[in-house]
Amino acid sequence: MNGMNGLTMQQHNWIARRAFLGRSAQGVGAVALASLSTPGVLEAAPLRGVLEKPPLPQRAKRVIWLSMAGGPSHLETFDHKPKLAELDGKPMPESMTKGQQLAQLQGQKLICFGPQHPFSKMGPNGTEICSLFPQIGSVLGDICLIRSMTTDAINHDPAHMFMNTGSQIAGRPSMGAWVTYGLGSEAADLPGFVVLTSLGKGGQNQPIAARQWSSGFLPSRYQGVQLRSKGDPVLYLGNPAGITRPRQGADIAAINAINAQHDALTGDPEIATRIAQYEMAFAMQASVPELMDTKNESSKTLELYGCQPGDGSFASNCLLARRLAERGVRFIQLYHKDWDHHGGVKDGIKFKAEEIDRACMALITDLKDRGMLDSTIVVWAGEFGRTPMSQGNGRDHHNKAMSVWLAGGGIKGGLVYGASDELGYAAVENVCTVHDLHATMLHQLGIQHDAFSVKFQGLDAKLTGVEGANVLKDILA
């Protein structure tokens, strides 16, 4: 072949060798070269964020977000409405509902539908919550229950987007991406933002798009990585059939060595990044299976969560969330589906309670026992609430009132904040928005929400939107 840049092959090689050796003495090549002989010594580094140091005092270091997908009924979970029981079967007062946005009930006769399960007093302050959730009730002392949350959207997909990104337009970063972008991660060999999903027994498993954990206009390395309970836990994590870890390590070492040689010739900074990503990928191939393997958890812990290793349940995912938190992952989001009870809310909620009640308690208890609850915000929230009006024997989507709760991370436990009206139709006291929730969580993470922005399409785009948001100071410990 003819020469390159007019050099002979020999000259070219000589320059390459000299440049390579010169660089590898101090640079990335050294790692790659060393590992040629001993695969497996590659070392990955944690993802860095753009904020050198959180601008505000940091009360919480990480988030575990329990997304109850489908829209849980606040009226069968955490918002006690005896008046609605009294009006069961009677028309909804028109003054409340006139001209309002409804989903499937739009234009239909609106009839009150009483709570389908009794409520009882639980926790240190005798808070009334649905009797199906005794385990959550037992840790109410650690929980701040917000009964006055509202949202802008009323269909699942836009409502999830709004809850995750503060916008109903696709293409915005999810909160997990924002937080990881700001603070980076402490996990050297795991992604900074991890997502797990689980299905419910009832079958109303609403679809969840991958955009819910997208990094939007932020760099892709901050996107959520889904951990799956079946197949490879991370897509393409497993080696091809027949390739052992040492074989894989040898190939990666060779790839990185050659890339380092190329770097010495071209000085392209992307190459050093590429080498680091191969190191990270190789590290993840070991760390993720280790993470997912819960067999070594004590029987006491497995009993606490009530799960079997690898069963893919919400409880299993809660246990994995704790393991991820321990390993320094910044933002962990669990989707549990099947909360969309247009019909059969009575039985539907029972299924959900069986699936989540113990697991939520276990997660809070486990984090607390390990001294991690103080530095972890646990959030429980759906994408919207449900109507006090009936839709057959279920409830329609509803955005004017919903209940969410938070625990840990410097949030006041044993508190009930805000209230909806006597029928649970609209939030009336200390009304909160999704932007407020985001602002408050960012605040606990040490980030000032209105100063945390990225230029996008000409705007200083923020998680908390353009309309402004309030940190809910009253719920901070």
Partner 1 sequence: MVHSFASRCRPIACAFVAHVLSASAVLADPVSFNRDIRPILSDNCFSCHGPDASHRQADLRLDLRNDAMSAGAIVPGKPAESTLVSRVNATDADELMPPPESHKKLDAKQKELLARWIEEGAEYQQHWAYEKPVKAEVPAGSSGIDHLVRKRLAAIGLQVSPEADRRTLIRRLSFDLLGLPPTPDEVAAFVADTRPDAYVILVDRLLASPHYGEKMAIGWLDAVRFADTIGYHSDTPRNVWPYRDWVIRSFNDNQPFDQFTIHQVAGDLVPDASQETRVGSAFNRLLLTTEEGGAQPKDYEARMLTDRVRAIGAAWLGQTTGCAQCHDHKFDPFTARDFYALGAFFADIKEPIIGHPEDGMIVGTPEEHKRLAELDAALAEAKKKFDAIVSQLDAAQQQWEADIVAYGVTMPELAADSKATDADKNTAKQVAASLAKEPSKRDGNDKNRLRDYFRAKATKLFQTERDGLAKADKERKDFYDPLAKCLVSVHADSPRTVRILPRGNWMDETGEVVKPAFPAFLPQPTIEGREPNRLDLARWLVSRDNPLTARVVMNRLWRQFFGMGLSKVLDDLGAQGEPPANPELLDWLACEFMDSQWNMKHMVRTIVTSETYRQASVAAPQLATADPYNRELARQSAFRVDAECVRDAALSVSGLLVRTIGGPSVKPYQPEGYWENLNFPVRTYPNDTGDKQYRRGLYTWWQRSFLHPSMLAFDAPSREECCAERNRSNIPQQALVLLNDPSYVEAARSLAARILKECNGSPEERVAWAWRQVLQRLPRVEEMETVMPLLRTHIDHYKADPAAGEALLKTGLTAVPADVDKAELAAWTHVARVLLNLHETITRP
What is the closest distance, in whole angstroms, from the C-beta atom of residue 245 to partner 1 in the complex? Answer: 12
Q: What single string gives the DSSP state of each residue in 133-175?
A: -HHHHHTGGGEEEEEEE--S--SHHHHHHHHHHS-SSTTPPPH
What is the closest distance, in whole angstroms, from the C-beta atom of residue 356 to partner 1 in the complex? Answer: 18
Which CB, 191 or 424, lies closer to partner 1? 191
Q: Which two tokens stand for residue 244?
A: 């052992």
* 126 in contact with partner 1 (CB under 8 A): no
Which CB, 252 or 377, lies closer to partner 1? 252
* 101 in contact with partner 1 (CB under 8 A): yes
Which CB, 73 or 259, lies closer to partner 1? 259
Closest CA to 391 of 437, 341, 463, 350: 341
What is the closest distance, in whole angstroms, from the C-beta atom of residue 106 to partner 1 in the complex? Answer: 6
* 1 in contact with partner 1 (CB under 8 A): yes
Q: Binder to partner 1 among 89, 126, 207, 371 (CB under 8 A)? A: 207
Contact segment (CB under 8 A) with partner 1 among 74-82, 101-109, 357-365, 378-386 equals 101-109
> Which residues, numbered 322-361, are part of the site for partner 1 (CB under 8 A)?
335, 342
* 219 in contact with partner 1 (CB under 8 A): yes
Which CB, 299 or 467, lies closer to partner 1? 467
Query: CA 454 to CA 219: how far, in whole Å?
Result: 11
* 163 in contact with partner 1 (CB under 8 A): no
Query: CA 355 to CA 349: how far, in whole Å?
Result: 10
Q: Binder to partner 1 among 248, 316, 420, 433 (CB under 8 A)? A: 248
Question: Is the dihedral angle over the CA atoms 158, 163, 164, 165 positive or is it negative?
Answer: positive
Q: Which two tokens stand for residue 403?
A: 């209940």
Q: Which two tokens stand for residue 214?
A: 């997208």
- The single-letter DSSP state of residue 210 is G
For residue 6, what are the CA distances in angstroms to 14, 17, 111, 135, 261?
A: 14, 18, 85, 76, 20
Q: Contact 196/317 with Cβ under 8 angstroms?
A: yes
Q: Contact 151/399 with Cβ under 8 angstroms?
A: yes
Query: CA 80 to CA 115: how far, in whole Å?
Result: 8
Beta strands in 71-118 (DSSP E): none
What is the closest distance, in whole angstroms, from the C-beta atom of residue 358 to partner 1 in the complex? Answer: 24
Which CB, 83 or 262, lies closer to partner 1? 262
What is the closest distance, in whole angstroms, from the C-beta atom of residue 287 to partner 1 in the complex? Answer: 11
Q: Binder to partner 1 among 53, 57, 98, 99 (CB under 8 A)? A: 99
What is the closest distance, in whole angstroms, from the C-beta atom of residue 399 to partner 1 in the complex? Answer: 12
Q: Binder to partner 1 among 61, 62, 221, 400 (CB under 8 A)? A: 221
* 205 in contact with partner 1 (CB under 8 A): yes
Which CB, 266 or 308, lies closer to partner 1? 266
> Which residues, numbered 38-97, are part of the site for partner 1 (CB under 8 A)?
none
* 236 in contact with partner 1 (CB under 8 A): yes
Which CB, 286 or 372, lies closer to partner 1? 286
SS3 286: helix
For residue 324, what are the CA distances in angstroms to 53, 84, 307?
A: 22, 41, 17
Paired with 415 in beta bridges are 144
* 26 in contact with partner 1 (CB under 8 A): no
* 458 in contact with partner 1 (CB under 8 A): yes
Q: Binder to partner 1 among 26, 53, 94, 220 (CB under 8 A)? A: 220
* 13 in contact with partner 1 (CB under 8 A): yes
What is the closest distance, in whole angstroms, from the C-beta atom of residue 345 to partner 1 in the complex? Answer: 15
- Entry field: residues in the chain: 477
Query: CA 351 to CA 339: how far, in whole Å?
Result: 10
What is the closest distance, in whole angstroms, from the C-beta atom of residue 52 to partner 1 in the complex? Answer: 17
SS3 260: helix
* 251 in contact with partner 1 (CB under 8 A): yes
> Which residues, numbered 263-322, are part of the site for partner 1 (CB under 8 A)?
265-268, 270-271, 273-274, 277-278, 280-282, 284-285
Phi, psi of 397 (to 5 degrees): -60, 150
Which CB, 258 or 477, lies closer to partner 1? 258
Closest CA to 77 of 345, 396, 376: 345
* 433 in contact with partner 1 (CB under 8 A): no
Could you tell me how many helices (H) and strands (E) the chain has, helices first?
Answer: 13, 16
* 232 in contact with partner 1 (CB under 8 A): yes
What is the closest distance, in whole angstroms, from the C-beta atom of residue 266 to partner 1 in the complex? Answer: 5
Which CB, 285 or 365, lies closer to partner 1? 285
* 392: CB partners within 8 A, 6+ apart: 342, 343
- Burial call 131-145: b when 16+ CB within 10 Å, e when fewer: ebbebbbbbbebbbb
